[in-house]
């Protein structure tokens, strides 16, 4: 069970529906709802939620930027609300869990229980909640520029084996395997920008 959950969603119907589900199943002690992050300072008053449920378009800033901007804990979890077809699987993978608008009440609660259970056992359900080290970010930026492992190793004065280890760690932490997905991750988390990718 979570102590405090924040629902950030433009649709009042979706906000109120999720709140009803969470309270009906006694899934948390408090739910705070807001249309967007513009209401954060008024409604939160220096309290930190365990879980934020938000629409996909609201996540455009990236988890790390949102955590920093609103002084959230590193282990704050993010659940995305998807209410239309979205073909960029890598963006959806940036959340710790995803709720589809077509999910039944039981499915929503099941997903949140699993997330809560994994967190309470000291494991994030998705390794993307772990931060990349500075060296992993350096490796990622060079990989996104199209460099091979050997070229990355030469640029950073490390062995190709170390580059492979960093690649594995990046994939493990983000849960994203494709370079295109990692590019989206890097941009959303302010690790790289479009200019970096063009070089």
Q: 21-74 pLDDT, tens per residue?
A: 999 988 888 999 999 888 888 888 778 899 999 987 777 677 878 888 888 888
Of residues 186 and 129, which shows the higher confidence score?
186
User: Could you count the other beta carbons within 10 Å of the beta carbon of residue 53?
Assistant: 28
Residue 105: phi, psi to the nearest 5?
-55, -45
Residue with tokens 């479009």: 194
Provide the number of structural domains found in the chain: 2
Question: Helix, strand or coil for residue 1?
Answer: coil
Residue 40 is part of which domain span? 2-128
Model confidence band, residue 178 (pLDDT cutoffs 50, 70, 90): confident
Q: Say yes or no to pLDDT of 151 above 90.
A: yes
Q: 119-133 pLDDT, tens per residue?
A: 665 434 343 446 888
Q: 83 and 115: one domain?
A: yes
Q: 43 and 104: one domain?
A: yes
User: Among 128, 155, 171, which residue terminates a domain?
Assistant: 128
Q: 94 and 22: one domain?
A: yes
Instruction: Please choose, from the candidates 95, 61, 90, 195, the residue with its C-alpha nearest in 3D space to the C-alpha of residue 141.
Output: 195
Distance CA 12, CA 41 (A): 20
Residue 165, both tokens: 């280890």
CATH no. for residue 60?
Answer: 3.40.50.2300
Residue 171, both tokens: 């994939």
The mean pLDDT value of the chain amounts to 83
């Amino acid at each position: 069970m979570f102590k405090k959950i924040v629902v950030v969603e433009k649709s009042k119907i979706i906000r109120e529906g999720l709140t009803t589900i969470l309270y009906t199943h006694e899934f948390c002690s408090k739910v705070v709802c807001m249309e967007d992050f513009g209401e954060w300072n008024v409604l939160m008053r220096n309290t930190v939620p365990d879980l934020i449920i938000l629409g996909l378009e609201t996540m455009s800033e990236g988890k790390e930027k949102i955590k920093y901007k609103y002084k959230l804990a590193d282990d704050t979890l993010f659940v995305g609300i998807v209410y239309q077809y979205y073909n960029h699987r890598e963006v959806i993978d940036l959340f710790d869990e995803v709720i589809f608008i077509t999910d039944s009440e039981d499915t929503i609660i099941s997903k949140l229980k699993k997330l809560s259970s994994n967190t309470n056992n000291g494991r994030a359900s998705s390794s993307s909640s772990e931060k990349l080290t500075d060296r992993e970010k350096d490796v990622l930026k060079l990989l996104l520029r199209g460099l091979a492992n050997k070229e990355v190793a030469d640029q950073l004065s490390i062995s190709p084996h170390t580059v492979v280890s960093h690649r594995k760690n990046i994939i493990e932490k983000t849960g994203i395997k494709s370079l295109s997905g990692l590019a989206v991750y890097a941009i959303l988390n302010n690790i790289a920008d479009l200019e970096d990718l063009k070089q």
